[in-house]
Amino acid sequence: MPVTIQGHTSNKASQKAGSPDPALFTSAIVGADGKKIWRSIPQPDKITFATVLTEEHFGGESKTPIYDKAVIKGFAEGLAGAVNALAGNAVYVPPDQIPKVFKIPFGPREAEALIELKSKNVKDHPAPFWTLRIEFNPRKLKPDGHAQLLETMAYASPGPINVGAILRDARLSRLDVAVDLFNVRPEALLVTTAATGKRWEIFGPDGRLEAVYFYRSKKKPTAPLKALRKPFGALIVRVYDRNRERAAWGKPPPYPGGFVTRLEASVTRFGKPTYLPDLLALPYPFKQAKVSLTADVLAKVDSGWLRYWSARQTFGPDVSIAATGLSLSAHKALEKAIKNNPSTLLSSDAVWPEWHAGLKSCGLDKLIDAAMNCKG
């Protein structure tokens, strides 16, 4: 019985206890055993971007860095006022009288956005120039939170400010993208990656798998190293139990009565300078990962697949042959099936066409629109 996937309209069924949000979980997937799971649209889960502040950003026409310390101070004091008004906290003011770190809650969940100002001394510049860095979770801010972020920046400066131009010039340094699977746990998934490297597994006190990190292969050093940088290699995808992750923070499950597994990719290398408007044409971040239901792939090959798969995860493929008593031909057939993982749960054709819907659902499209439609 093949896996079947059905698209759901997102505005018909109301959410019930133990069921996912139909506005986010738009695809129903039926496994070979008849079990139904739901897949969410992809959403940005964390974003970091920064820009050099220029004259154009504060009412001028020049794209040269702004050196006017009074303008920066006025902007910083406005952000500090927002922190006091929205969070009830006072911002630390250093000896130069310009506050630089602002943690501001936005949106219905009061998700915190981190805004940082930094001054830099660079040769051939007449004075220190300033950079603005912003980091937050778009999925938590929601559309209202993004609107509040835009409004806060617009009213922070006592003088003219072009928030759209600031966002237009802001270069991305990190983007996390998340896809959730409802009604499936991490241990039920067959996850394979291109250029397979190390795998880091985390188990709970009860022995249940809670999270798995998959890394790219890493070249062996040609000489002894004094320190290990990224000892596991570059992360490809993280797979984790959202219910248990939230429980660790003292929070209830995202959908009481059901369980959710999250697939998360973190992009830190964009290949070329990438800005907010470029998110509309972002390459598929999960292209090096394949995800299917393990039973759907391996049960078709051999009835002893579960015993073999359990041993393989612990001892590796070679020892597992002796541990399970499988014939060499059965072992080869299972390994071939694993290698040819069809990625029925995370294929780019099924997931990525909904990326724009994910941007809109969380409200990040508001910042993209501001960046694309700014005057200047």
Question: Average pLDDT of 47-67?
Answer: 94
Phi–psi pair at 171, nearest 5 degrees: -100, 130
Q: In terms of DSSP H, where are the helices of the chain?
A: 69-87, 138-156, 163-169, 242-248, 294-298, 305-315, 317-324, 328-339, 348-351, 355-362, 364-372
Structure confidence at residue 271 as a pLDDT band (50, 70, 90): confident
Span 11-23, mean pLDDT?
A: 64
What is the percentage of the chain residues whose pLDDT exceeds 90? 69
> Is the confidence at residue 82, as pLDDT, over 70?
yes
Q: Is the pLDDT of residue 1 over 50?
A: no
Judged on CB neighbours under 10 Å (0-12, 13-18, 19+), 253 is: middle
Model confidence band, residue 8 (pLDDT cutoffs 50, 70, 90): very low
Question: Would you state the pLDDT for residue 180?
Answer: 97
Length of the chain in residues, anyone? 376
Averaged pLDDT for residues 51-75: 93
pLDDT band at 222 (very low <50, low <70, confident <90, very high): confident
The CA–CA distances, whole Å, from 210 to 30, 47, 109, 293 equal 23, 24, 25, 17
Tokens describing residue 101? 């770190």
pLDDT digits (tens, 9 = 90+) for 167-184: 999 999 999 999 999 999
Beta bridge partners of 115: 102, 134
Number of other residues whose CB lies within 10 A of the CB of residue 229: 5
Q: In angstroms, rounded to a whole number, what is the distance separating the alpha carbons of residues 225 and 270?
A: 28
pLDDT at 16 (0 to 100)? 56
Q: State the pLDDT at residue 244.
A: 95
Q: What pLDDT sits at residue 139?
A: 95
- With 50 as the cut, is the pLDDT of residue 314 above it? yes
Q: Enter the tokens of residue 369.
A: 């629109």
> What's the pLDDT band for 238 if we cut at 50, 70, 90?
very high
Residue 18: per-residue pLDDT: 62
Reported as a pLDDT band with limits 50, 70 and 90, residue 13 is very low
The whole-chain average pLDDT of the chain stands at: 90
Neighbours of 120 (CB within 10 A): 11
Confidence of residue 225 (pLDDT cuts 50, 70, 90): confident
**Cα separation, 306 vs 294, whole angstroms:** 9
Q: Which of 97-106, 303-312, 342-351 has the lowest mean pLDDT?
A: 303-312
Q: For residue 301, how many other CB atoms are within 10 A of its CB?
A: 17
Both tokens assigned to 13: 């069924």
For residue 15, what pLDDT is reported? Answer: 52
Given a cut of 60, is residue 7 above it in pLDDT?
A: no
Q: What is the pLDDT of residue 229?
A: 77
